Amino acid sequence: MIMAALLAAMAWTGCKDTLETDDPSAREEKPVAVRDSVILTLEAGKGIDTKALELVNGGQTLNAFWTPGEEVHVFASGSGTCIGTLTATPNNTDKTKATLKGNISATGLAKDQTLTLLFPKSTWSYEGQNGKLTGEGSIASSYDFARAQVIIEDVETTKITTTKSTTFENQQSIYRFGFRYGATTIRTKTLLLTSDQNKLAKTVNAITGANTYFASDVPMTIELSTALTADQAAAHELIYVAIRNDNTTEKDTFSFTIYDADGATYKGSKEIPKVNLASPFVSAKTIPMDRLELSQYAAPATPVTPL
């Protein structure tokens, strides 16, 4: 009986020793299985030059606010591929702020990696503007480009945690122009715009930085859907243009050619001081213009057919 008890004790002790000296790899924590698609949620504010725009304080201040359903595209650092989109839900009390939420691809994402948020897409074009601040085809709907960045703090099973909040930075300035011939506002139909520094962006790739520029022989063209009416001219209605000027070190001069409602041609220019080049909202409401003697759009004379 004593021997049996000793053998039993030795057997129990052996089992205990085996458990304590087991292969440590068997007790290592397994990595968390991250889903292919994870949720990203963050708070974001808008600079003044982002999609929804409004003038306040008698038209002297330009404000921006989020509208429900606006989309932001997400890009991982080192990649030109969009990994998902976030949808905006504006704050109930302050519509300059919103919660952005959506599914993004988690492939290759890691802690401390930077995510770039682009609004509303990654390739931006400043062609085809119609001189309007809001409405169809306007700056607010089609030419209001912005960028923000956040840093990944944690990659979890079903979600990505990033910097708690961010603010989108405007990628262009909004100019408003008023053109006068004498004391009269010109009834503008078409506006051609060039820059002495030749750095007005035509298209911008926000990921690669591959920008193209308007040139003096192919100027930036703002085509109003209809010419300013006499009543609009009398009320000194202004023309709004989104301009990204990649010249930020030297003062610039904008040169204008205008065709009015009757086809008459006007020319003029405006110096833009260096301090205004990076301003988000620039107003030049009384630019003087010279009228040319001959209309640019004058119809050719009908040839006489000899008898």
- 126-152 pLDDT, tens digit per residue, is 999 999 998 889 988 889 899 999 999
Q: pTM of the entire structure?
A: 0.78
Report the pLDDT value the prediction gives residue 94, as an integer from 0 to 100: 85
- How many angstroms separate the first and last alpha carbons of the chain? 145
Residues sharing a CB contact under 8 Å with residue 81, sequence separation 6 or more, in sequence order: 75
Euclidean distance between CA atoms 62 and 57, whole angstroms: 9
Same-domain check for residues 35 and 150:
yes
> Is the predicted pLDDT of residue 225 greater than 60, yes or no?
yes
With respect to residue 296, please indicate whether it lies within any of the assigned structural domains.
no
Residues 55 and 162 in one domain: yes
In this predicted structure, what is the pLDDT of residue 88?
Answer: 94
Contact between 146 and 255 (Cβ < 8 Å): no
* CA proximity to 54, closest of 225, 228, 281: 281
Report the percentage of the chain scoring pLDDT > 90.
56
Domain identity same for 32 and 96: yes
3-state secondary structure of 55: strand
- What does the mean pLDDT of the chain come to? 83
Is the same domain home to 237 and 112? no
> Which residues share a beta bridge with 242?
174
Q: Are residues 156 and 14 in the same domain?
A: yes
If asked whether residues 257 and 112 sit together in one domain, one would say no
> What sign does the dihedral 291-292-293-294 (CA atoms) show?
negative
Stretch 57-86: mean pLDDT: 81
Q: Is residue 120 reached through a cis peptide bond, with omega within 30 degrees of 0 on the bond before it? A: yes
Assess if residue 27 is contained within a domain: yes
pLDDT at 63: 66
Q: Domain for residue 297, yes or no?
A: no
Same domain, 253 and 214: yes
Mean pLDDT of 158-186: 91
Residues 70 and 83 in one domain: yes
Mean pLDDT along residues 101-108: 92
Better pLDDT: 58 or 222: 222
Other CB atoms within 10 Å distance of the CB of residue 257: 18
Q: Give the HSE-up count for residue 175: Cα atoms under 13 Å, Cβ half-sphere.
A: 25
Residue 197: CATH number of its domain: 2.60.40
Structural domain containing residue 16: 10-170
- pLDDT for the residue 49: 43
Structural contact between residues 187 and 265, judged by C-beta atoms closer than 8 angstroms:
no
pLDDT of the residue at 163:
85
Q: Across residues 213-223, what is the average pLDDT?
A: 95
Q: Are 193 and 256 in contact (CB under 8 A)?
A: yes
Domain co-membership, 55 together with 89: yes
CB 270 within 8 A of CB 196: no
Residue 234 phi, psi dihedral angles, 5° rounding: -65, -30
Percent of the chain with pLDDT over 70: 79
Taking CA atoms, 72 is separated from 31, 84, 186, 258, in Å, by: 31, 9, 39, 36
Q: Stretch 100-105: mean pLDDT, rounded?
A: 95
Q: Is residue 298 part of a domain?
A: no
Phi, psi (degrees; rounded to nearest 5) at 238 = -105, 165
Give the sign of the dihedral formed by CA 82, CA 210, CA 282, CA 179: negative
Q: Which residues pair with 109 in a beta bridge?
A: none
Choosing from 170, 194, 226, the residue where a domain stops is 170
Does 143 fall in a domain?
Answer: yes
**In this predicted structure, what is the pLDDT of residue 29?**
47
Mean pLDDT of 213-232: 95
Give the residue-averaged pLDDT of 17-43: 59
What pLDDT shows up at residue 223? 97
| pLDDT value of position 305 | 53
- Highest mean pLDDT out of 34-43, 161-170, 241-250, 278-287: 241-250
pLDDT, residue 37, reads 82
Residue 7 has pLDDT above 70, yes or no: no
Closest listed residue to residue 66, CA positions, set 151, 138, 167: 167
Same domain, residue pair 127 and 201: no
Structural domains of the chain, count? 2
